[in-house]
Structure 1
Amino acid sequence: MRVNETRKRNVEKTFERCIEAHVRDASVLDIGCVAHDSDKRHDEPWLHELVVRTADDAVGVDILEDELEALDDAGYDVAHGDAQALALEETFDVIVIGELIEHLVDFDGLLRSIDDHLAESGRLVITTPNATAVHWTALRLLDQEFVNTDHTCWFDATTLTQLLERYGFEPTEITYVGDCRLTLEDPLQAGGWLCERLLPDRVGKSTLAVVATRSGE
């Protein structure tokens, strides 16, 4: 059964609330925890810190060994591994894949790794840039960088749902998250802020968040 896209404007207005609601008091595997650079831990919001402070137990995994060493020195529980071929020999209540899937090429390996490490009644939480957001179109029209050069693909709710269903996962919640701010110093941010409030979420907000479980659960 396909899930209807939901707005939840008064419940999950921010990225932080979206993540915290799904990892609270759970054992969590955060795949791609570094988020490019270990110095991101000093920024707000840093996804892995949100997970660590909200979950009952959290393990971070990434392929960037030097950055993992810095996180380990800072006291985080982290392990080296490729999201497309994980072998941690344990399972988790929740697996978080934040702003990572658009960097990958082996979705078969990724989804099989998820299946191997997700507890029987566990939840998968994926966030990724929302391909249908007008924010990205505006950047392109203004000749601004509108896509990270490390990205291999775009997803919207339909394509990500299709991928998950082919591997036995069923989306239970689709949410759009915006993080633009109203400021006179950055017209693009201000324009994004207006879009988030005036347009339907599927085109107004720049981040797509999908929660899924195994089909039939």
Structure 2
Amino acid sequence: MQALQYRALERIRTPRPVDRVKTLSGWALGKRILDLGALDETALEQKQGNGRWLHAELCGSAREVLGIDNSEKLPVEGLVTAPNGRIIKGDIFDLGGVLEEFGTLDALVAGELIEHLPDTLGWLLSLRGNRRLSGVELMFSTPNACSWYNAIVGVAGCESTHLDHLQVYSYKTLRTLFDRSGLDLLELTPYHARFDEMRESSGAVGRVAVTLFQGGVNVLESVFPMLSGGWLGRARIP
């Protein structure tokens, strides 16, 4: 990772943006995974079968996937999602029982999760303090506070933020967060914005407009990666 001086006009070197779901599922290839916040309630209606539900794509690449979620939409008995995947009710702040049942794992996946947490630093510190997780990799994604999309809709006096989002991170605030947690941040890669839910909920003309808008935003992201839709990261738990 690039050493930071935290100067106002410090130049940051980043790779070109990638596809979020494809990259995370590629990182999970052949691994035993705990997928935290796995259900993704929009997947129940909109994402199944179209390659955009992260949990399903993880099941397609990982050796074994156990999803953890506390959603009320999840049956008490959990869900079998694939021959090598299932989702059970659980608390990501208390993984002791799950880890004891699941045994040795290679990685935790936290897709679009940390922006929902009331105390992200405290959660990362709890991972570091769990001896069962020593040496395990944390793979995560989160929206970018400095994205083109935020700026474009801001010009129109709008803001696109989920009701459950408690914070939004930039490149430097993510670096600071992981430095303070003591987890070894290995990689931060920008990912392209996608507007699948907006497109699916639109009529025929609206879908064309959303597709064109997404294409334009993705071009801008490729030219200016720091303004991409979000960040993908890999960290090692000491």
User: Is the contact between residue 92 and residue 118 of structure 1 (CA under 8 Å) also seen in structure 2?
Assistant: no
Structure 2, unmatched stretches of 5+, are: 4-11, 196-206
Q: Which has the larger radius of gyration?
A: 2
Give TM-score scaled by structure 2 length: 0.76
Identity %: 24
Aligned to 1:188: 213
Pick closer, same or farther for the CA change 1:58–1:134 going to 2, 3 Å.
same
Aligned to 1:78: 87
Aligned to 1:33: 38
Q: Distance in 1 between matches of 2:90 and 2:121?
A: 16
State the secondary structure of the residue aligned to 2:221: helix
Aligned to 2:119: 106
Aligned to 1:214: 237
Q: Distance in 1 between matches of 2:62 and 2:22?
A: 13
Pick closer, same or farther for the CA change 1:28–1:5 going to 2, 3 Å.
farther
Pair 1:66-2:91 in alignment = no
Q: Deviations over 1:69-118 (max 9, x none)?
A: 59615554222122233332245211110001111102254224433386
Aligned to 1:154: 168
What is the root-mean-square deviation of aligned Cα atoms in Å? 2.7
Pick closer, same or farther for the CA change 1:27–1:177 going to 2, 3 Å.
same
State the secondary structure of the residue aligned to 1:66: coil
Pick closer, same or farther for the CA change 1:119–1:18 going to 2, 3 Å.
same
Pair 1:6-2:19 in alignment = no
Aligned to 1:24: 29
User: Is the contact between residue 80 and residue 87 of structure 2 (CA under 8 Å) also seen in structure 1?
Assistant: no
Pair 1:136-2:144 in alignment = no
Structure 1, unmatched stretches of 5+, are: none
Q: Distance in 1 between matches of 2:132 and 2:193?
A: 29
Q: Distance in 1 between matches of 2:43 and 2:131?
A: 24
Q: Distance in 1 between matches of 2:208 and 2:43?
A: 31
| Letter of the 1:213 counterpart | R
User: Is the contact between residue 148 and residue 221 of structure 2 (CA under 8 Å) also seen in structure 1?
Assistant: no
State the secondary structure of the residue aligned to 2:226: helix
